[in-house]
């Protein structure tokens, strides 16, 4: 109301000074109305300039919803691995909300293995595993965990997500300042150019990652040393999408670009512009 009044009052004689003053007032008002706009937000950086420069806060924003999608059913372990790799650095308790039946409609993929998490550099002792019977419980448990602001991060496994639901979860994450990772199955059909490259309904998530498998890094004896994943930042609010092939060092908790073919987008020539902007 005050904003409107001011604008109306100044309509009669707009001088350069009043216009400037008005703009400043409007901007201040907008800043006030949009929480978290001006202030510095915490983020989980990848430690990799190429990826971090694509993200608005120089890393995965803490108070936000992040979607992780496996490229295909067979890539589900890679998707879990990617989440574990991001959270490996955090030492506080982490909450994993897993439905007892796994990720539908995929076939049962087993359960997380403590020694496997340990091998990826995530201490399994920090993990609080919440097992739910159905979707409603999963959603409730996730929201409860996020709103309590007790864990350092919350990970949920869920079969479907719609706009309203994602808005609700995103809001909860923003209020608590916690990163909330949602692992969901890939939609059945790839995006078509007609729909503007978008698929699977809207979502309020800050980022959506599509994780694919890639051949692991091996030492000269042919032993697997570091897992590699094909990351695709499919959408990113206030950022730019991108595509990378990364490997993960579980000892140093560090991502690095895979040596041979560092950037898929450059190779394809599709995202050349964005790379120029970044550098």
Partner 1 sequence: MNAAAEVSGLATGDLLADARAKAEFLQVRDADPAADDAALRRLALWATRYTPTASPLCRDLWNEANGADGFFLDIAGAAHLFGGEEKLLADLATKLQKNFGLPARLAVADTPGAAWALSRFHKTPAFVLPSGQEAAALAPLPIAALRLAPDTRATLRRLGFKTVGSLLDKPRAPFAARFPTELLRRVDQALGRIDEPLVPIVAPPVYHSLRYLIEPIFTHDAIIAHANRLMATLIHVLTRDDVGARGLRLCLYNVDGAVETIDIGLTLPTRSVAHVARLIELKLEALAATYDAGFGFEAIGLAVTCAEPMPARQTELTSVTDDGDRTERCASLIDALRQRLGPNSVRRFEPVASHLPERAEMLPPLDGEAPAWPEPEQRPRPLLLLPHAEPAEDVTALVPDGPPRRFSWRGVTYDITGAQGPERIGAEWWRHPLPTLPRKRGREREGATRDYYLVEDASGHRFWLFREGLYGRETTQAQWFVHGLFA
Q: What are phi and psi of 199, to 5 degrees?
A: -150, 165
The DSSP result for 18-38, as a single string, is HHHHHHHHHHHHHHHHSTTSS
Q: Which is nearer to partner 1, 21 or 218 (CB)?
A: 218
Coil, helix or strand for 56? coil
Which part of the chain contacts partner 1 (CB under 8 A), choosing from 29-37, 53-61, 62-70, 133-141?
133-141
DSSP 251-262: TTTEEEE-SS--
The residue among 75 and 161 lying less far from partner 1, judged by its C-beta, is 75
Binding mask 151-190 for partner 1 (x = CB under 8 A): x---------------------------------------
DSSP character at residue 35: T
8 Å CB contact between 205 and 173: no
> Which residues, numbered 3-62, are part of the site for partner 1 (CB under 8 A)?
none
CA 72, CA 35: separation in Å to the nearest integer?
37
Among 143, 250, 255, 271, binds partner 1 (CB under 8 A): 250
Contact with partner 1 (CB under 8 A): which of 115, 194, 260, 269?
115
SS (H, E, C) 161-210: CCHHHHHHHHHHHHHHCCEEEEECCCCCCCCCHHHCCCCCCCCCCCEEEE
Q: Which stretch binds partner 1 (CB under 8 A): 29-37, 90-98, 163-171, 271-279?
A: 90-98
- Out of 99, 185, 227, 242, which residue is the one contacting partner 1 (CB under 8 A)? 227
# binding residues, partner 1 (CB under 8 A): 62
- Closest contact distance (angstroms) between CB of 100 and partner 1 is 9
Of 47, 116, 239, 241, the residue at the interface with partner 1 (CB under 8 A) is: 116
Give the DSSP letter of residue 58.
Answer: S
Query: In terms of CB distance, is 11 or 107 closer to partner 1?
Result: 107
Q: Is 94 in the site for partner 1 (CB under 8 A)?
A: no
**Which of 81, 185 has the CB closer to partner 1?**
81
Who's near 43: CB < 8 A, 6+ residues apart? 55, 57, 58, 59, 60, 61, 62
**Residue 76 burial (CB count, 10 A):** 23
**The two three-digit tokens of residue 121, written as one number:** 């550099």
Nearer to partner 1, 89 or 109 (CB): 109
Provide the binding-site residues for partner 1, judged by CB under 8 A. Answer: 74-78, 80-82, 84-85, 92-93, 95, 107-121, 123-133, 137, 140-141, 144-145, 148-151, 212-216, 218, 222-224, 227-230, 250
């Amino acid at each position: 109301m005050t904003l409107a009044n001011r604008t109306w009052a100044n309509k009669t004689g707009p001088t350069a000074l009043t216009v400037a003053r008005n703009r400043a007032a409007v901007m201040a008002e907008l800043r006030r109305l949009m929480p978290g706009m001006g202030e510095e937000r915490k983020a989980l950086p990848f430690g990799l300039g190429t990826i971090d420069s694509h993200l608005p806060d120089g890393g995965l924003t803490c108070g936000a919803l992040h979607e992780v999608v496996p490229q295909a059913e067979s890539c589900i372990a890679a998707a879990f691995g990617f989440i574990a790799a991001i959270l490996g650095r955090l030492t506080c308790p982490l909450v994993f909300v897993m439905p007892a039946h796994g990720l539908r409609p995929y076939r049962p993929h087993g359960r997380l293995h403590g020694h496997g998490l340990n091998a990826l550099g995530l201490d399994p002792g920090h993990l609080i595993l919440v097992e739910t019977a159905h979707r409603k419980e999963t959603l409730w448990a996730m929201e409860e965990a996020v709103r309590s602001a007790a864990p350092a991060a919350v990970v949920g496994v869920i079969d479907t997500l719609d706009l309203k639901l994602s808005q609700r979860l995103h809001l909860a994450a923003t209020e608590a300042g916690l990163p909330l990772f949602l692992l969901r199955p890939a939609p059945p059909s790839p995006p078509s150019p007609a729909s503007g490259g978008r698929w699977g309904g809207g979502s309020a998530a800050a980022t959506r990652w599509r994780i694919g498998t890639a051949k692991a890094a091996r030492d000269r004896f042919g032993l697997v040393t570091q897992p590699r994943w094909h990351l695709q930042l499919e959408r990113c609010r206030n950022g730019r999408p991108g595509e990378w092939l990364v490997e993960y060092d579980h000892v140093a908790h560090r991502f690095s670009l895979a040596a041979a073919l560092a950037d898929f987008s450059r190779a394809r020539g599709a995202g050349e512009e964005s790379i120029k902007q970044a550098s």
